[in-house]
Amino acid sequence: MTLSLPPLDQATPWLDDPAHRAWALADARRQLAFFDASLRPDGGFDVLDLAGAPLPRAGQELHTTTRMVHSYVLGRAIGHPGAEDLIDAGMRFLRDHHRDTTHGGYLWAVDETGVTDPLKLAYGHVFVLLAAASALQAGHPEARALMDDVAEVLDQRFWDDAAGLYRDEFTRDWQSFSTYRGMNANMHSVEAMLAAFEVTGEASWLDKAGRVLDFFTARMAPAHDWRLPEHYTEDWQVDPDYAGNPMFRPAGTTPGHSLELGRLLLQHWDLAGRPAGDAPDRARRMIERALADAWLPDGGLAYTLRPGGAVDIADRYWWPVTEGIGAMASLIKLGEGRAGDEAWYRRLWAFADSHHIDHARGGWFPELDAAGRPVARQFDGKPDIYHALQADLFPLVPGLSRQVAQAGTLAG
């Protein structure tokens, strides 16, 4: 199955085009069918190679478990058979393996034999909140307890109320070993808190998400020509020389995160009742800057930029493309009628279709070489369904919010 690309000046926007909508929904179903093979007999999740066979196990990371729960809640909403089995498995694995019964909180990586990485990371904990919120939307019997538990941990251990932001990392027994502060965990905290607000109606989640967004989108982005600094010191000053884990904390700025945070800013604005102010303009500025900086001559988005916007790491990964699709869908849903939004939406899908989507087996190739062929330098196999599944489904649900709640409207 391949995407049939209509001319860019076609009168019908793709979000309203039944053929495009059916195609995206079909890709979502093929992704879910591919990742079904992740589920192990013991209830854990394997990472899969490009053909869908399990890779050697090296500890199941917290973001893998939680993203699988969230993704299969979306799968359940569109009627994917067996989705409940993967949701149940993920919830049990969180409870029985990741949950630290000695010190509280959730361990970053575990396997059948025990703990393989004991760190307590805000990045992982906010994904526990996302999994809990999604599972609660699906009516899972353990979801409310999980949400209450992780909410307490986030509030007591990670939340810096003076700054209105989340601290990043602790040892297993909650000792501070690092002064690092980062944008990535805070960005995903917004995603999780908005999901928690949508399912519970508890305004504290919306308020905290707004504080995080204000720091990055009303203070940092305008001060840096609408690029988002990733790395900060303990007192939340930009640390332009920081370079850490190349997957989670690369040097410079990450334009894919500007796309992601722009979409989340619009979602927050929508959930808050679309108040007067410049939130839509801020979102557009971040999104358009990221696309202008990072789109490469042969297509695809560069992974990182230097602080002034020049390309640093030109490697092309799948997730910035998926976030670009979600960002452009959000701008189109604003109803401003800008032709450039439609053109970008189609351009991103065209690149995904021709380079990232594995039409033969399902799932998306995560990484491309300079010639546009799948390669494994940073990522092994197909490590993740979460980004690409949301790219398929978010454009199809009405409005800017309530993705999990509204995905069920697509099942027919």
Q: Please indicate whether residue 387 is annotated as part of the active site.
A: yes
Question: Cα–chain-centroid distance for residue 360?
Answer: 25
Q: Are 327 and 259 in contact (CB under 8 A)?
A: yes
Q: From CA 210, how far away is CA 78, in angstroms rounded?
A: 30
Measuring CA to CA, how many Å separate 138 from each of 170, 184, 226, 309?
32, 27, 37, 42
Q: Give the burial class of 311: count Cβ atoms within 10 A of its Cβ; 0-12 exposed, 13-18 middle, 19 or more buried.
A: middle
Q: Which of 63, 97, 188, 387 is flagged as catalytic?
A: 387
Q: From CA 157, how far away is CA 174, in angstroms rounded?
A: 8
Q: Which of 257, 268, 355, 356 is flagged as catalytic?
A: 257
Sign of the alpha-carbon torsion through 320, 74, 354, 378: positive
Geometric angle at alpha carbon 231, from 226 and 234, rounded to 5°? 125
* Residues designated catalytic: 257, 387
